[in-house]
A and B are shown apart, each in its own frame.
Chain A
Amino acid sequence: MQLTRSSEKGDGLTTALLSTGLAVLLVGFYLALNAPPDANQGWLVRILYLHVPMAWLCYLAIFGTLAYSVAYLVRRNPHYDRVAAVSAEIGLLFSALTVLTGALWGRPTWGVYWTWEPRLTTFAILIAVYVGYFIVRSAIEDPELRANASAAIGILGSINVPISYMSVKWWRSLHQTQTIDLTTGKVNMEPSMLLALMVNLLAFTLLYFAFMRLRGQIARYEAQRQEAAHG
């Protein structure tokens, strides 16, 4: 088995993304810990510096899965299928973390770990879709069929996100329950808080691309190893 030069050259960019992302993350951490407490939420607001970028990363990952699934169906390049799966993997991990940090924040703020808020519900549906995505991937052995099936699940699942959000939003508004908006308390953000949030958003965006490249590389090696073992 031999590794192509192009894959090694790609490593430079991955390292750069990863190190820049981690450096920016450290700066973001410092800013977040130095940001003033919120008028209503006090120090609890610090969870948001982690929670919001994580949720943002999930949206990036969904979009990544959608884009690479479509690209696979158009171009039939096996690497696109691997990258779509990698993006789904990152999305699944971070959507679980988003729900977890959201629950930790929700308990002291709203008094409950869970509420049928549109974004929460959408994330729960998203997790279910991506769990199904990986179960199907492990159930199908034929690589081409697996790639086609997971591309289909990736595309249908991504389309589902805005529709689910809309339906749950309407469902709640007609239910006349008390409205809890996740954005409460950070509409009039102080500049230092906004800066901390923005830096963290940048850090997580950089880390997403770094993870994508790193994990994509590993997936490529795995595929090469399997090819070498079987043929």
Chain B
Amino acid sequence: MPYTRVFWLAWRDLTLEFRGRAGILSVVFFLAVMLFILGLAFGPNPQDLRKAAPGVFWVALAFAGSLLANRAFGLEVEDGTLDDLLLTSGSREWIYFGKLLFQLLLLLGVGVLLLIITAGLFYLPLTAWPWYLLTLLLGTLGYAAISTFYAGMLARLRGREVLLPLLLFPLVVPVVLSAVRAMGDLATGVPVGEVASWWRLLAVFDVIYVVACGLLFPNILEG
């Protein structure tokens, strides 16, 4: 597999995303508004908010992720550059891995920002922050593996904005569940050794879905 191509594709998409600004900024503001509303819904009591924090964090990230996933192939289709990508020689798996890297980096960036805002609004203690980052990495990888795959599959379909979450959310239930539990355990001070089983489940999920999606991806691109 051409690793340099994977890297350059991700780099190009990240550059475009940050030059465009509008997309990423609207996602970040959407998240901020969503956290604000959820904070109001769960009430002013710090204990309640702290208990809700991991769930709120991952649900918000999942929603934001489905918005971001549409951007993985959105520009390619708008500008007609998807055909150019498909015309490059060799197998097509690298397109998937490039887009996956792009989505992963984007989600990680948004996730770190979201984590800080959640910690502030929902009284989530951040003392174990390296472990939060590990959970974030494993969770976003599993999420991005599936969201990138389906975004590519639906790239040229009408109504993809609705179809994508519909296909995506049932499949990422294990990711959201394990990540919420891992983060909740970390917040309540459960020893790291006991949280490890959730990370293992996340890692197993990641490996299975990155491999399966990578293998299936060349089949589902149009053209």
Q: What is the interface of chain A, defined by CB distance below 8 A to chain B?
A: 73, 125, 128-129, 131-132, 135-136, 139-140, 142, 145, 148-149, 151-153, 155-157, 159-160, 163-164, 166-168, 170-171, 174
CA distance A204 to B205 in the complex (A): 32
CA distance A104 to B191 in the complex (A): 41
Residues of B within 8 A of A139 (CB): 157-159, 163
Interface residue B51 (Cβ < 8 Å from any Cβ of A) = no
Interface residue B134 (Cβ < 8 Å from any Cβ of A) = no
Choose from A135, A152, A156 the contact partner of B163 (Cβ within 8 Å). A135
- Give B141 Cβ to nearest chain A Cβ, in Å: 15
Residues of A within 8 A of B85 (CB): none
- Give B217 Cβ to nearest chain A Cβ, in Å: 8
CA distance A163 to B145 in the complex (A): 15
Contact with A along B173-212 (1 / 0, CB 8 A): 1100110010001000000000001100100110011001
Name the residue among A128, A152, A170 with the largest chain B CB count within 10 angstroms: A152
Residue of B nearest to A128 (CB): B170
Known A-B contacts A148-B220, A156-B209, A156-B212; the reply to A163 vs B174 at CB < 8 A is yes
User: B167 to A159, Cβ gap below 8 A?
Assistant: no
User: A163 to B163, Cβ gap below 8 A?
Assistant: no
CA distance A132 to B149 in the complex (A): 15
CA distance A47 to B111 in the complex (A): 47
User: B208 to A155, Cβ gap below 8 A?
Assistant: no
List 13 other contacts, CB 8 Å, given A129-B171, A139-B163, A163-B205.
A125-B173, A128-B166, A129-B167, A132-B166, A142-B222, A145-B222, A152-B153, A152-B219, A157-B171, A160-B170, A164-B173, A170-B198, A171-B181
Residues of B within 8 A of A142 (CB): 222
- Give B104 Cβ to nearest chain A Cβ, in Å: 18
Residues of A within 8 A of B174 (CB): 160, 163-164, 166-167
User: A156 to B220, Cβ gap below 8 A?
Assistant: no
Known A-B contacts A152-B153, A163-B174, A167-B201; the reply to A136 vs B222 at CB < 8 A is no
Choose from B157, B159, B181, B216 the contact partner of A155 (Cβ within 8 Å). B216
- Give A207 Cβ to nearest chain B Cβ, in Å: 27
Known A-B contacts A132-B167, A139-B157; the reply to A167 vs B177 at CB < 8 A is yes
Chain B interface size band reads: 20 to 34
User: B177 to A136, Cβ gap below 8 A?
Assistant: no
Residue of A nearest to B184 (CB): A174
User: A148 to B219, Cβ gap below 8 A?
Assistant: yes
User: B213 to A166, Cβ gap below 8 A?
Assistant: no
Name the residue among B178, B208, B216 with the largest chain A CB count within 10 angstroms: B216
Residue of A nearest to B160 (CB): A139
Known A-B contacts A135-B163, A159-B212, A166-B201; the reply to A149 vs B220 at CB < 8 A is yes
Interface residue B11 (Cβ < 8 Å from any Cβ of A) = no
Interface residue B146 (Cβ < 8 Å from any Cβ of A) = yes
- Give A219 Cβ to nearest chain B Cβ, in Å: 21
Name the residue among B158, B170, B198, B222 with the largest chain A CB count within 10 angstroms: B170
Known A-B contacts A139-B158, A156-B213; the reply to A171 vs B167 at CB < 8 A is no
Interface residue B42 (Cβ < 8 Å from any Cβ of A) = no
CA distance A170 to B157 in the complex (A): 37
Interface residue B63 (Cβ < 8 Å from any Cβ of A) = no
CA distance A170 to B174 in the complex (A): 10
Give B26-85 interface residues, CB cut-off 8 Å to A: none
- Give B164 Cβ to nearest chain A Cβ, in Å: 10
Choose from A128, A135, A136, A156 the contact partner of B216 (Cβ within 8 Å). A156
